[in-house]
Amino acid sequence: MARAEIPARERLIFAMDVQNADAARRLADSLDDSVSFYKLGLELFTSGGTFELLDWMVGRGKRVFVDLKFFDVPATVAGAVRNLRNRGVTFATVHGNQAIMEAAVAAAGDVGILAVTVLTSLDRGDLDDMGFQCDVGALVLSRARRALAAGCAGVVSSGLEAKLLRAGVDDRLIVVTPGIRPVENRPTDDQKRVMSVPEAFVNGADYIVVGRPIRDAADPRAAAEQIQATIAGLFPHR
């Protein structure tokens, strides 16, 4: 199971993958207290008004994870991360080499830096196409160890590799797991390496990221509460 002491209801991070800030506010209003932690991704962040949305969410007592997967020369990444400081951002992601991770951490201030290991939309065939000949688990472990050495707060990793991370990397490293599917994965889903809520936490995830199963539900708040109930059953005293 996950090691970090985290309130159970904060272990669910909702991926706010909507087109603009107005839609995000409406959805957050409808979710109300069923979600306390939100991920703001690339599409939403480039739609305009996102810093105002960030301030609005933080002002409502929400935690925010900025998932932009910074990948550029280290100085540019450091400048981008610095712009997130002192705004109430809990986590931000980087997707790069040692120098990029170290630059992000040095500039982070109160922002926890998460290093992306292997995207959950990639499978073995995709990694072969990209020139990675090593085993997926070995690649995840290597990147996680480098993230820890760089001073990152944690990593973003599939729940399929979370058990490997718990066995092979220091427990201080936070594991955030996307690609969570409470029901059977759809054939059209672009997430390939997926896992259920209980499986992810049993394997060692600290947080799970859930998007479409909540956003596209007939009743998003009820869907979120159902996941929260599952988490509460796994962490009854937190």
| Burial of 157 from C-beta contacts in 10 A (0-12 / 13-18 / 19+) | buried
pLDDT of residue 185: 43
- The residues assigned a catalytic role are 69
Q: How many CB atoms lie within 10 A of CB 39?
A: 24
pLDDT of residue 23: 96
Residue type, 226: Q
Residue 201 has pLDDT above 70, yes or no: yes
pLDDT of residue 130: 45
Residue 164 has pLDDT above 90, yes or no: no
Local structure of residue 111 (DSSP, 8 states) = S
Across the chain, mean pLDDT equals: 86
Domain 8-234 classified CATH 3.20.20.70? yes
Residue 101 Rama label (left phi>0; alpha psi -120 to 50; beta): alpha
**Banded pLDDT at 195 (limits 50, 70, 90):** confident
Residue 27 has pLDDT above 50, yes or no: yes
pLDDT of residue 140: 78
Residue 192 has pLDDT above 90, yes or no: no
Question: How distant, in Å, are the alpha carbons of 42, 91, 108 from that of 74?
Answer: 19, 18, 13
Position of tokens 């997430």?
191
DSSP line for 47-58:
SS-HHHHHHHHH
Euclidean distance between CA atoms 83 and 189, whole angstroms: 33
Local structure of residue 148 (DSSP, 8 states) = H
Residue 180 has pLDDT above 70, yes or no: yes
pLDDT > 70: percent of the chain: 84
Position of tokens 């080499």?
97
165-192 average pLDDT score: 70
pLDDT of residue 221: 97
pLDDT of residue 118: 62
Q: pLDDT tens-digit profile of 123-157?
A: 445 445 545 555 666 777 888 899 999 999 999 98
Question: How distant, in Å, are the alpha carbons of 55, 217, 224 from that of 50?
Answer: 9, 24, 23
- Per the model's pLDDT, the better-predicted residue between 232 and 158 turns out to be 232
What are the domain boundaries of the chain? 8-234
| Burial of 143 from C-beta contacts in 10 A (0-12 / 13-18 / 19+) | buried
